[in-house]
Chain A
Amino acid sequence: MGFDRRLGKGRLLAAWLVCHRELRGLLFSPGTYLVVLLAGLAAHLFLNTLAQSIADSGLAVLSGAFNLPIYSVLFVTGLFLALASVTSISREREQGTLEVLFYGPVDVAAYIGGKLVSFGLAYLGLLALYLVCYALFAGTTGFAFAMPTWAVIGLSIPVVMHVVALGTFVSTATRRVRASLAWFLLILLMLLALQFSPDLLELAPVSNRFYPPLRLARIVLERINLAFTWVSPFALLIKGTEAVRRADALLYVYTTAISSCSVLVLAAGSMYLMWKGGVRS
């Protein structure tokens, strides 16, 4: 069940079958279409509002007209795929599918690899669909796809895969769908809290009696956040966006590389956990 050397080239086939199966599942999932619908509606709403505002004021300065719809869509799509990855493995384990699957010529590397590739391909497919939709809007309104928008789209691929890999990791570490979802949402909330709580603590009045401990808490949270920069997709996304804004190619490459490495580490961790934990619920 672990890393079966006898599989050889068969592992690629097995991974492709797992990937194909998962993609079919996503293709027939109503959630996928709901996400695409939301993306289209968001773009239409934002761009119409923007066009109206330019018509009223005569002028607007934007780093990208599509930035806001793209950010919202990337967030929703990333979350959808991550939740799909969280539920996918633990549900198959819970229903016994995983056990049956592993009687065949499938090992953990083929299974986890196939799953991650399927989510990556699904994201690229959805991204292509969004871009077609946005190109139609851009062609008829005159709004431009600025260079920073392309850079953010490029950055989103490893960041979304990072969240998906985190979901897969959580899913392999738990036994039940409910537990997987609960743990994943808890981790996401914790990472969000780490990212934004220092700013929230900032609102504490300077000279009230709680100020010194709150200030200390802010410093501690900032330090933890600094350490979590290496693992938090939110921190990496903010850092990458800042790199795009400042046209800092080195920071952009660094962020993309860290995100990609995190995907590999989490994938390896998922394989290890599945190998150690077994496939039974």
Chain B
Amino acid sequence: MLHSRTFLLCLAVWLLLWSVPAVVVAQDPERRTELVYGVNAYIGGRYEGDFYPRSVDTIYLVADAISVVSPRYTEVYYWPITNREVADWARLNEPVEGVLEIRRRGRLVAGLEATDYVVQYPEGLDLSPAVVYLGEEAHRQWNHFDESRREFRDRVSAYYNDLVTYRQDLDDRIEAGTLEGEPDPPPREPEPFLYSSTEVNRGFPVELPAGSYTVQVRTADGEVQPGSRRRLKVFEPLSAGVAMWAIPHDRYTFPEKSDDEGEVLYLRRGTLAYLQPHAQEEYRDIHLTRLMDPQDTSGRPDLYQWLQTDEIQDGVLVVTQGTRVVDRIERRSYAVRQITGAALGYEIHDQATTDLERLRERRPDFQGYPVDTRALPTSFRVHLEDADGQLVPGSRRRVRVVRPDSEPWLAIVPYVPVVLALVFTGSRRRRFVRLPRDQE
């Protein structure tokens, strides 16, 4: 009996182990080697990196700005979860040697040699426009970045050492009872390291006027590299404008964005909002969508998109009512402080007027033009004036201060037509009175 039970237990364990490999199936998609184009495309002051598999036959670039294209062999596979073709750069990443030929209507426009390049954001990734360096300069700037990074690391290390020493010294003085009055301020934390850079890569820098081209790689033996021919669409912004970001005082991390002058900013009475003007460029939807994501084919040629670039840092916000200037608001810097304790919340301090020294001296969390509805009329306009006192085109906006609720009697208004209908029907019935049955 015992033997048979042991036997059954062993059999069950064996069956379980045997079945495990059958239910665990690896998601290992089929790969194929392809010539793809890796592209670092300039758009609105930054660079977007993506790759163009063979199934995407047109490369999109912005006119009159350096973008870098890099034809490479890699392994491409289809990933159903994201519905995209994906490159396995870790398995294969082999540059295609040769000259990048750019042609327009069959005529050779440029024959480009590959060069080293680096893309850097000196003031931070989303805080300053990108700069691209080519050739020897790329190596020099990369070394500069590397050196700055090392210096920052040393500063951080020194700060922590100083902090340990400071705390130790403070503990010793407390223990010895020699601490009198306010202790010395703690060492200052180094400024954050925002400088950002890519590594030195190799590619073909392309800078062309708007138009339709073809690109291909010509190898050293004079032949066109098979699979390297693609169409190249170079486009320029259709217009420029100003996007107005409105930051409500009570949720400063979620700004509302107004792209064009036809839009109205509605504010609740008593709201304090900060306006942040941003430069913006308008592109065709299809061009911008494809540049941002070459595999996204949802872009439409008959629609347009605004792309916001840098924050406009100069100028005065002028508040007008009709032709009368109601107020002129200067740009101010703000520091946000989390409320201490269990409750969530924060305080926004104007750095110019706050009593807290630490908030005054630190880097501002955001800057903007404060619009206080308590001190302004219910309907007004705002626009940005540059340093010369000229209106910044595209910066005009209408602002309305709305009541949080409507009059209760308004709920009756939609039913007025029904009453009218009943009146009409009644009057018609009176005019066309039915005859009694015996007279019909």
Contact = CB atoms under 8 A, between A and B. Distances in A.
Interface stretch (B99-107, B170-178, B256-264, B354-362): B256-264
Interface stretch (B14-22, B79-87, B194-202, B333-341): B79-87
Task: Give the interface size class of chain A.
Answer: 35 or more
Contacts of A65: 264, 266
A136 B256 contact: no
A217 to B, nearest CB: 13
Contacts of B304: 242, 245-246
Which of A58, A242, A244 has the most chain B CB within a 10 Å cutoff? Answer: A58
Interface in A112-166: 129, 133, 136-137, 140-144, 146-148
Contact of B428 (A28, A52, A59, A147): A28
B84 A63 contact: no
Interface in A207-239: 207, 215, 218, 238-239
A30 B260 CA distance: 41
A41 B400 contact: no
Given A33-B417, A140-B406, A142-B378, A61 B85 contact: no
Contacts of B378: 142
B410 A207 contact: no
B418 A37 contact: yes
Interface stretch (B219-227, B242-250, B343-351): B242-250
A40 B417 contact: yes
B404 A54 contact: yes
B190 to A, nearest CB: 36
A211 to B, nearest CB: 8
Interface stretch (A6-14, A43-51, A83-91): A43-51
B111 to A, nearest CB: 33
Task: Give the interface size class of chain B.
Answer: 35 or more
A54 B268 contact: yes
Contact of B271 (A50, A59, A144, A199): A59
A246 B424 CA distance: 44
A269 interface: no
A239 B303 CA distance: 8
A143 B410 CA distance: 14
Contacts, number: 154
Nearest to B402: A142
B415 A37 contact: yes
B283 to A, nearest CB: 12
Contacts of B428: 28
A133 B420 CA distance: 14
Contacts of B271: 58-59
Contacts of B415: 37, 40
Interface string B83-100: 111000000000000000
B402 A244 contact: no
Given A51-B402, A58-B248, A143-B400, A28 B414 contact: no
B410 A59 contact: no
B353 interface: no
Interface string A9-37: 00000000000000000011010110011
Contacts of A4: none
B78 interface: yes
Given A133-B413, A144-B400, A58 B267 contact: yes
Contacts of A246: 260, 282, 304
Interface string B395-420: 00010111111110011011111101
Given A59-B268, A206-B84, A242-B303, A137 B410 contact: yes
Contacts of B262: 63-64, 146-148, 244-245, 247
A63 B273 contact: no
B402 A141 contact: yes
Given A63-B263, A205-B80, 19 more contacts: A33-B421, A37-B417, A40-B415, A44-B411, A44-B413, A58-B249, A59-B265, A59-B266, A60-B256, A64-B264, A141-B402, A141-B403, A141-B406, A142-B403, A143-B400, A144-B400, A147-B262, A206-B83, A246-B304
12 contacts: A37-B417, A58-B251, A59-B248, A59-B256, A63-B260, A143-B400, A144-B379, A205-B78, A207-B78, A245-B304, A247-B260, A247-B262
